[in-house]
Chains A and B, each alone.
Chain A
Amino acid sequence: GENVEQHPSTLSVQEGDSAVIKCTYSDSASNYFPWYKQELGKRPQLIIDIRSNVGEKKDQRIAVTLNKTAKHFSLHITETQPEDSAVYFCAASGGDDYKLSFGAGTTVTVRA
């Protein structure tokens, strides 16, 4: 099955700086890569996703890049704000199944 590795596990950044989270996946058949943001005690919420036919996608301050050859994808948050503080999960799915396999999560803390 799919194995998703995520780094770093924690990330502390100064407000206004950028944050980068990286994930790798094992199943070359995976073709859908979403990122979820989870605030304390809340459900995971989709913030951005990318499909295997695209190398980069941007939505305001967040962007995701995908390198299918290397089987890794990254989340970039620019001009971080305190409300960006949360746990971020990457995930991958595709191939013969439609389940999402999640990374272990990155706790992002934005210091004011």
Chain B
Amino acid sequence: EPEVTQTPSHQVTQMGQEVILRCVPISNHLYFYWYRQILGQKVEFLVSFYNNEISEKSEIFDDQFSVERPDGSNFTLKIRSTKLEDSAMYFCASMRAPGAAGELFFGEGSRLTVL
């Protein structure tokens, strides 16, 4: 069964450093997302991406965050200058299409620890 894959599974970084989290969505999916989950809290929407551009972003997704689809398979989330409060599990997700086929598939997550 196809699945969303994410790397790294865990990254530890110093405050102020840049971090890139990588995702490979399911191959025939068209909509891509990043969500964040701080330990013990709910899953929070960060950004959605469709047709090679951001379609929506939350207030969490400030200028320190960016996303890119550098080739036909990868979808990356970059945090330019990490803060302590960026420590969380970051989930990539993809969807084939909204509507009748609107199931969202999550990756296993990348745990980011900022020291």
Contacts and interface: CB of A to CB of B under 8 A. Distances in A.
B65 interface: no
Interface of A: 32, 34, 36, 42-46, 49, 51, 89, 93, 97-105
A93 B100 CA distance: 12
B109 A43 contact: yes
Contacts of B68: none
Contact of B45 (A32, A44, A99): A99
B1 to A, nearest CB: 12
A105 B72 CA distance: 34
Interface of B: 31, 33, 41-45, 48, 50, 55-56, 91, 95, 98, 100, 102-109
Contact of B95 (A43, A98, A105): A98
B98 A98 contact: yes
Contacts of B107: 43
Given A99-B45, A104-B42, A46 B108 contact: no
B108 A43 contact: yes
B43 A45 contact: no
A100 B109 contact: no
Interface of A is mostly: strand
A97 B56 contact: yes
Contacts of B91: 43-44
B48 A99 contact: yes
B76 to A, nearest CB: 18
A46 B103 contact: yes
B108 A42 contact: yes
B103 A34 contact: yes
Contacts of B41: 104-105
B115 to A, nearest CB: 20
B89 to A, nearest CB: 9
Contact of A49 (B42, B98, B103): B103
Contacts of A42: 108
